[in-house]
Amino acid sequence: MKKLLRIEQIKILNYLPFQVLLGLYVLAIILGLVIYPLFDKQVPIVSLTDLFRFPDVWPFMTWITEPYNTMLALIVIMVTTNEFTNHTFKTQVIFGLGRAELLWQKLALIFILAMVATLLVTITSVLLGLSYSYKLTLNIALENSWMMLPYFLSSVAYMTFGLLFAILIKNTASAILGFIGFRTFLEPVLFLILRKYEIKWFLPMRANTRLTPLPNLIEMFEQKLDGDGEAMEASAMEILPKGLPMWANILLVLGYVALTVFISFRLMQKKKLT
């Protein structure tokens, strides 16, 4: 594995688009520390800075940064398709690497990028929480921090889907368009078609986004009201979609990741490496 990681490191560190996209991703996360608090406009009942305090900062940050994972998927697509275009895969096979090892390189890259993404969001959440929390204890700070685990899985899922598109199509532009089209057009259309049926929650990208759902703002409003007035129910107001329970959603996405990796392995065994 160390050998595979070393080979992958040499390739990606000399690939300018990888450096640019990864730099933009890191910059977007860092800018969040400055930009998110600028939206602190007072709204009825609750201030937006409530979202930056422990423990609410964890679900808020995972929700708002989830779309950033698309950039990570694009990185994986570009790196993988570049190896088809430049015959790097074929060269590595000639020098003794197996096709399975070629895919293990990409899976190792996905794991490392997901770890980096999770670490960046964790650091951002901690800094915001420390800056805006009124009272701070270890229990309060760590409450909801488990949301980083679904976020890590979400990052992995995005990138494995990107890997599948890259291996299936092999052309950089076409693979990117295919992935973005599936993410932003095809599946949303399917969701609308199936909106009356529970199967809509089983669509792959929908299941992935539900790993980091919109924070329960209704509950925050109730806490702000301190029990005054009638309780507001999110389900009655139809603001927050129910979807699957978190544990079921995690199992579903794990299943999609496993299936995507399996298909990718099969394609790598059969496809030409050019």
**Model confidence over 211-249: pLDDT tens digits?**
998 876 656 555 655 544 444 444 433 445 567 899 999
DSSP 145: G
Higher pLDDT, 135 or 149: 149
Number of domains into which the chain is organized: 1
Instruction: Tell me the C-alpha distance between 46 and 220, whole Å.
Output: 8
Instruction: Tell me the C-alpha distance between 78 and 175, whole Å.
Output: 9
Q: How far is CA 33 from the centre of its chain?
A: 19
C-alpha count within 13 angstroms, C-beta hemisphere, residue 32? 26
CA dihedral 82, 88, 93, 97 (to 10 degrees): -80
What's the chain's average pLDDT? 85
When pLDDT is cut at 50, 70 and 90, the band that residue 29 belongs to is confident
Give this prediction's pTM. Answer: 0.89
The percent of residues in the chain predicted with pLDDT above 70, rounded, is 85
Structure tokens at 65: 């940064």
Q: Which of 4-8, 83-87, 123-127 has the weakest average pLDDT?
A: 4-8
The residue range of the domain holding 230 is 2-270
Higher pLDDT, 77 or 270: 77
The percent of residues in the chain predicted with pLDDT above 90, rounded, is 53
Question: What pLDDT is stored for residue 230 in this prediction?
Answer: 45
Mean pLDDT of 7-23: 82
